[in-house]
Amino acid sequence: MSAQIIDGKAIAASVRAQVAVKTLEFVARTGVTPCLTVVLVGEDPASQVYVRNKGKACSDAGILSRQIDLPATTSEAQLLSLIAELNADRSVHGILVQLPVPGHIDEARVIEAIAPEKDVDGFHPMNAGRLFTGGVSCLPCTPYGIMKMLEHEGVALKGKNAVVVGRSNIVGKPMAILLLARHATVTICHSRTADLEAVCRNADILVAAVGRAEMVRGSWIKPGAVVIDVGMNRNAEGKLCGDVAFAEAREVASKITPVPGGVGPMTIAMLIQNTLEAAERQVAARA
């Protein structure tokens, strides 16, 4: 029997609708409209699409979206100066510098320059530390979205074996911490893990976030496992695909996310959720 498809578009639409309601209530209560400012350096086509989608999601939820476009020749000092201005602007509640930035700009310095309370991507080292220690912070949007999906699908995590393939700061590491916080037993794997196939086959929940097209085969999956595919790749035919061989995996798993239409829509939904939560915390801190 084929696995149930986890519909990321539908779950994301539900989250976005909830944020829209909460935003209306927040504006009515405080007189403050949450504001996200997105900074785009250069003209990367994929980044332009992402930024446009983020702007539309904000608008639909009643969140003010500002976009600042900078030329690819912008210096690191100029970008850091702009971030300092946005940090000081009380009307801006969320700051997002669209990555990647041009090569002459140090990405880490840019991330660290954003005020932690306005870091709606959840990448600042202080927010990473709060996540690690169980404090209140903006959570990285993709892992946060995956947790929402698992919750929506009623997937039990307590005492289960969760395997995360990939160790990036954006997905793999925070994903593992969030699963651990829900009492799963977590293994983090990567391309150099010995007998990766055997480790994956032990997973009740398998999260693939390694960036290799269809690397995880159906034979790697434990019968009845829940499979979350974070990958966004092109296969040999140029077709969009994930890190999991979907057709094979679907015959073994109990639930699986498709690519596209799985994890992707959740990332933007959680970004607007983070923006609203950041605005709520900032307004409360000033009261």
Residues designated as active site: 54, 98, 121
The strand pairing partners of 40, in sequence order, are 69
| Alpha-helix residue ranges (DSSP H) falling in 34-166 | 45-60, 76-88, 107-113, 125-133, 141-152
Q: Which candidate, 191, 190, 186, places its Cα nearest to that of 163?
A: 186
Please report, as a single letter, which amino acid is at residue 27. V
Residue for token pair 């794997």: 189
First to last CA, the chain: 56
Examine residue 125 and say whether the peptide bond preceding it is cis (omega within 30 degrees of 0).
no
Residues 6+ apart with CB under 8 A from 55: 38, 65, 67
Alpha-carbon distance 220 to 225, whole Å?
10
Pair 62, 81: CB distance under 8 Å = no
Residue for token pair 């150099």: 192
